[in-house]
Structure 1
Amino acid sequence: MALRLGDVVPDFTQDSTHGEIHFFDWAGDNWVILFSHPKDFTPVCTTELGEVARLKPEFDKRNVKALALSVDDVDSHKGWVGDIEETQGSALNYPILADPDRKVSDLYDMIHPNANDTLTVRSVFVIDPNRKLRLTLTYPASTGRNFDELLRVIDSLQLTDNYSVATPANWKDGDDCVIVPSLKDPEVLKEKFPKGYREVKPYLRLTPQPNR
Structure 2
Amino acid sequence: MTEQNNQPLSLPRIGDPAPDFEVSTTHGPKKLSDYKGKWLVLFSHPADFTPVCTTEFVAFQEIYPNLRQLNTELLGLSIDSNQSHIAWVRNIEENFGVKIEFPVIADLNKEVASKYGMIHPNESTTEANRAVFVIDDKQVIKSIIYYPLTTGRNMDEIVRLVEALQTTANHQVSTPANWRKGDKVIVPPPATQEEADKRAQDNQYEVVDWYLTKKSLD
Return the TM-score normalized by structure 1: 0.91
Question: What is the Cα deviation at residue 195 of structure 1?
Answer: 6.5
The aligned residue for residue 145 of structure 1 is 153
Question: What is the Cα deviation at residue 89 of structure 1?
Answer: 2.6
What is the aligned-residue RMSD (CA, Å)? 1.8
Question: What is the Cα deviation at residue 77 of structure 1?
Answer: 0.6
Offset from partner CA, 1:147-168 (integer Å, 9 cap, x none): 1101111111111112132111
Are residue 205 (structure 1) and residue 213 (structure 2) matched?
yes
1:43 alignment partner, one of 45, 51, 55: 51
Are residue 92 (structure 1) and residue 100 (structure 2) matched?
yes
The amino acid that maps onto 2:188 is V
The aligned residue for residue 52 of structure 1 is 60
Q: Distance in 2 between matches of 1:122 and 1:57?
A: 21
The aligned residue for residue 3 of structure 2 is none
Q: Distance in 2 between matches of 1:205 and 1:186?
A: 12
1:66 alignment partner, one of 57, 74, 84: 74
Offset from partner CA, 1:91-113 (integer Å, 9 cap, x none): 11010000001111111111111
Q: Distance in 1 between matches of 2:116 and 2:172?
A: 31
Identity %: 40
Question: What is the Cα deviation at residue 117 of structure 1?
Answer: 1.4
The amino acid that maps onto 2:15 is G
Return the TM-score normalized by structure 2: 0.88
The amino acid that maps onto 1:9 is A
Conserved? CA contact 1:13–1:23, under 8 Å: yes
Are residue 21 (structure 1) and residue 30 (structure 2) matched?
yes
Conserved? CA contact 1:18–1:95, under 8 Å: yes
The aligned residue for residue 7 of structure 1 is 16
Conserved? CA contact 2:132–2:146, under 8 Å: yes
Conserved? CA contact 2:43–2:75, under 8 Å: yes
- Runs of 4+ with deviation above 2 angstroms: 86-89, 182-187
Are residue 132 (structure 1) and residue 136 (structure 2) matched?
no
Q: Distance in 2 between matches of 1:153 and 1:122?
A: 16
The amino acid that maps onto 1:50 is V
1:104 alignment partner, one of 90, 112, 120: 112
Question: Structure 1 residues 71 and 182 mapped into 2: Cα distance closer, same or farther (>3 Å)?
Answer: farther
Offset from partner CA, 1:176-202 (integer Å, 9 cap, x none): 111111555649x87xxx870111111
Conserved? CA contact 2:63–2:159, under 8 Å: no
Conserved? CA contact 1:8–1:131, under 8 Å: yes
SS in 2 for 1:82: helix
